[in-house]
Amino acid sequence: MLLYVYLIAITAEAMSGALAAGRRNMDMFGVSLIAFITALGGGTVRDILLANYPINWTQHPPYIYTVIAAGLLTMLIARVMHRLKNLFLLLDAMGLIAFTVIGCDVALRLNYPTVVVVMAGIITGIFGGILRDILCSRTPQVLRQELYASVSLLVALLYLGLMHLGVDHDINLLASFSSGLALRLVAIRWKLSLPTFSYAERWYH
């Protein structure tokens, strides 16, 4: 099941990357590149940091075709995509959770300490969006909007906690996925966010 959610997630993330590129008036190559980085960048950064080689997408060329095709398709249907905003928010939430769990699993398989496992999950979940926004000259949205990175953190902690308690893996996946999805959707619906830090330096003479 996680594989299918992953494929849906990278497709949705690629399309969000393509839209961001379109707002910056990029050409087809730029759109494809941003779509690719948004969809697969988080996993790439994770694998580099964990020295997990070969990097995942290099062993699965269909992932590359999928995200580039999704990016180019976005160019054709961009004018009607505003009608699909709610669907994209749902798919993005699913992707965040799927990426987080997958990132945790990779680090667990490599026998990293728990804190590294949690960070691997978060990096997989949010770093594609961070790279997208940096390349599009924007402050990363995942760090300033409704609960997002914190949802990834909580999903990682819940997933590892249930695993530590010996909960069946399928039940663990269902519980972590459902909880994370519910929290993210509630945050979107009621615009829940963490307290922000605002600092403006003033010079007095």
Compute the half-sphere exposure of residue 123: CA atoms within 13 Å on the CB side of its CA: 20
pLDDT given at position 202: 65
Q: Is residue 158 part of a domain?
A: yes
**36, 71 Cβ separation under 8 angstroms:** yes
Please provide the average confidence, as pLDDT, over all residues in the chain. 92
Q: Is residue 102 part of a domain?
A: yes
pLDDT at 204 over 60: no
pLDDT given at position 5: 84
Give long-range contacts, CB 8 A cutoff, 24+ apart: 16-21.
16/88, 16/92, 16/129, 16/132, 17/71, 17/128, 17/132, 18/70, 18/71, 18/72, 18/74, 18/75, 18/78, 19/74, 19/78, 19/81, 20/132, 20/133, 20/136, 20/138, 21/71, 21/136
**51, 107 Cβ separation under 8 angstroms:** no
Q: Is residue 198 part of a domain?
A: no
pLDDT digits (tens, 9 = 90+) for 3-36: 888 998 899 899 999 999 999 999 999 999 999 9
Q: Is residue 204 part of a domain?
A: no
If one counts the domains in the chain, the total is: 1
Q: Is residue 197 part of a domain?
A: no
pLDDT given at position 85: 85
pLDDT digits (tens, 9 = 90+) for 133-181: 999 998 888 887 789 999 999 999 999 999 999 999 999 999 999 999 9
> Who has greater pLDDT, 201 or 159?
159
Q: Provide the domain limits for residue 171.
A: 2-190
Q: Is residue 196 part of a domain?
A: no
Mention every residue, 6+ apart, whose C-beta is less than 8 A from residue 98: 2, 5, 6, 9, 177
Q: Is residue 136 part of a domain?
A: yes
Compute the half-sphere exposure of residue 96: CA atoms within 13 Å on the CB side of its CA: 27
Q: Is residue 49 part of a domain?
A: yes
**pTM assigned to the model:** 0.93
pLDDT category of residue 80 using cuts at 50, 70 and 90:
confident
Mention every residue, 6+ apart, whose C-beta is less than 8 A from residue 80: none
